[in-house]
Amino acid sequence: MTQKLYAGIEAGGTKFNCVVGTDPRNILARTKIVTTSPAETLTQVCDFFRQQSVDLGPLSGLGIACFGPLDLQRGSPSYGYITATPKPHWSNTEIAGYFQRELNMPVGFDTDVNGSALGEHLYGAAQNITDFVYVTIGTGIGGGVFVGGKPLTGMVHPELGHMRLPRKTETDSFAGHCAFHGDCLEGLASGPAIEARWNCSAVTLPEDHPAWDLEADYLALMCVNIAMSYSPQRIILGGGVMDQVHLFPLIRSKFEGLMSGYMLPAIALDEYIVAPGLPGNSGEMGALAMAISAGEQRAD
Ligand code: ADP
Ligand code: ZN
């Protein structure tokens, strides 16, 4: 029996990564489309998938893991839209409905981080776990929160990157660079924040540089807030900054110190704060997982 083919889009502010595959571990085609105007970008994405359905066979569903903010309230007149984004030309752009009409297949639509979290749930580090949080620490900081096996949306969707933390004023004079909040988590601990604070590329900072101890302080505080707020069974930390794998043991030990024996049952912290299980680009993988999920719901 041939396996079904699915389409995924990681829709970002600089590019739309498009993939076709049978599941996130078996990608058969991919392309990158530069994010220009909505009309031009969305048309090119549709053309790519139409061509793939000719070359590879019919597609059974599409998942879109999209930059936000998004309207995820089913029944809302602007469900499936990007709402008020600072990205020029993209405010109030219909995404999910557009692809549904153009490609005529089930469409899954969610934030980029909820997509990544779903990928981790189905295929990665959160298999067999219903309550967990996936956080990416990269150009920005964003988090997908799963409760009872489903992504939390609520009023909008969680914006973990913009939680407020006590700034380490004794060791950190950097004012933070979030355009909205200054020294929120993203303003203090995203890749560009590290680079602005230390005035060099984060990739080249040596492992013993004080930047990493400070980074682990902030990410441990974030994990405490996440643990206290959502009581997840696991916290997955991904994104470019977490390629600095030496951060993991530092974050775990600072987290344990900050928790002060409170709340934590007898769990191994190296199974509580973990790296993603899916290799490669978590957004693309997540989008494909969303496509499979959307296709299966239609088949039910
Ligand atoms: P994006 O968030 O744009 O999807 P990434 O998660 O790769 O992409 O994040 C990119 C940012 O993460 C870069 O701007 C850089 O600051 C930081 N970064 C990427 N790779 C590394 C690395 N190996 N070590 C430290 N920081 C990194
Ligand atoms: Zn902020």
CATH of the domain at 41: 3.30.420.40
pLDDT of the residue at 298: 65
Q: Does the structure show a pLDDT above 70 at 299?
A: no
Asked if 186 and 56 sit in the same domain, the reply is: no
What is the pLDDT confidence band of residue 268, given thresholds at 50, 70 and 90?
very high
Q: Does 87 or 51 have the greater pLDDT score?
A: 51
Q: Does the structure show a pLDDT above 90 at 25?
A: no
Asked if 32 and 137 sit in the same domain, the reply is: no
Burial class (CB in 10 A: 0-12, 13-18, 19+), 83: middle
Question: Which ligand ends up closest to the CA of 188?
Answer: 2
Task: With respect to residue 80, please indicate whether it lies within any of the assigned structural domains.
Answer: yes
Asked if 241 and 265 sit in the same domain, the reply is: yes
CA distance 126 to 117: 8
Q: Does the structure show a pLDDT above 90 at 102?
A: yes
Average predicted confidence (pLDDT) for the chain: 93
pLDDT of the residue at 14: 85
Q: Would the CB of 241 count as within 6 Å of ligand 1? A: yes
Asked if 134 and 265 sit in the same domain, the reply is: yes
Asked if 42 and 181 sit in the same domain, the reply is: no
Task: With respect to residue 292, please indicate whether it lies within any of the assigned structural domains.
Answer: yes
DSSP 162-208: G-B----TTT------BTTTBSBHHHHHSHHHHHHHHTS-GGGS-TT
Question: Which ligand ends up closest to the CA of 245?
Answer: 1
Of all atoms in ligand 1, which is nearest to the CA of residue 140? 2
Helix (H) or strand (E) holding 288: helix 282-299
CA distance 56 to 48: 12
Task: With respect to residue 117, please indicate whether it lies within any of the assigned structural domains.
Answer: no
pLDDT of the residue at 155: 83
Average pLDDT estimate for 11-15: 89
Asked if 234 and 141 sit in the same domain, the reply is: yes
- Taking only the tens place, the pLDDT of each residue in 206-261 is 999 999 999 999 999 999 999 999 999 999 999 999 999 999 999 999 999 999 98
Structure tokens at 96: 């999910």
pLDDT of the residue at 121: 93
Task: With respect to residue 120, please indicate whether it lies within any of the assigned structural domains.
Answer: no
Task: With respect to residue 180, please indicate whether it lies within any of the assigned structural domains.
Answer: yes
pLDDT of the residue at 266: 76
How many structural domains is the chain composed of?
2
Q: Does the structure show a pLDDT above 60 at 83?
A: yes
Distance 139 CA to ligand 1 centre (A): 6
pLDDT of the residue at 244: 97
pLDDT above 70 covers a percentage of the chain that reads 98
Write down the number of H helices and E strands in the chain: 8, 12
Of all atoms in ligand 1, which is nearest to the CA of residue 194? 16
Name residue 35's beta-bridge partners.
Answer: none
Range of the domain at 108: 5-112+280-299
CA distance 34 to 13: 9
What is the pLDDT confidence band of residue 108, given thresholds at 50, 70 and 90?
very high
Average pLDDT estimate for 170-199: 96
> What is the reported pTM?
0.90
Asked if 38 and 178 sit in the same domain, the reply is: no
Average pLDDT estimate for 176-202: 96
Task: With respect to residue 183, please indicate whether it lies within any of the assigned structural domains.
Answer: yes
Of all atoms in ligand 1, which is nearest to the CA of residue 239? 6
pLDDT above 90 covers a percentage of the chain that reads 82
Asked if 264 and 152 sit in the same domain, the reply is: yes
Instruction: Give Rg (Cα) of the chain.
Output: 19
Question: Which ligand ends up closest to the CA of 140?
Answer: 1
Asked if 204 and 226 sit in the same domain, the reply is: yes
Q: Does the structure show a pLDDT above 60 at 267?
A: yes
Asked if 93 and 232 sit in the same domain, the reply is: no
Asked if 195 and 233 sit in the same domain, the reply is: yes
Asked if 188 and 221 sit in the same domain, the reply is: yes
With the most atoms of ligand 1 within 8 angstroms of its CB, the residue from 215, 241, 246 to mutate is 241
pLDDT of the residue at 285: 87
Task: With respect to residue 81, please indicate whether it lies within any of the assigned structural domains.
Answer: yes
Q: Does 81 or 68 have the greater pLDDT score?
A: 81
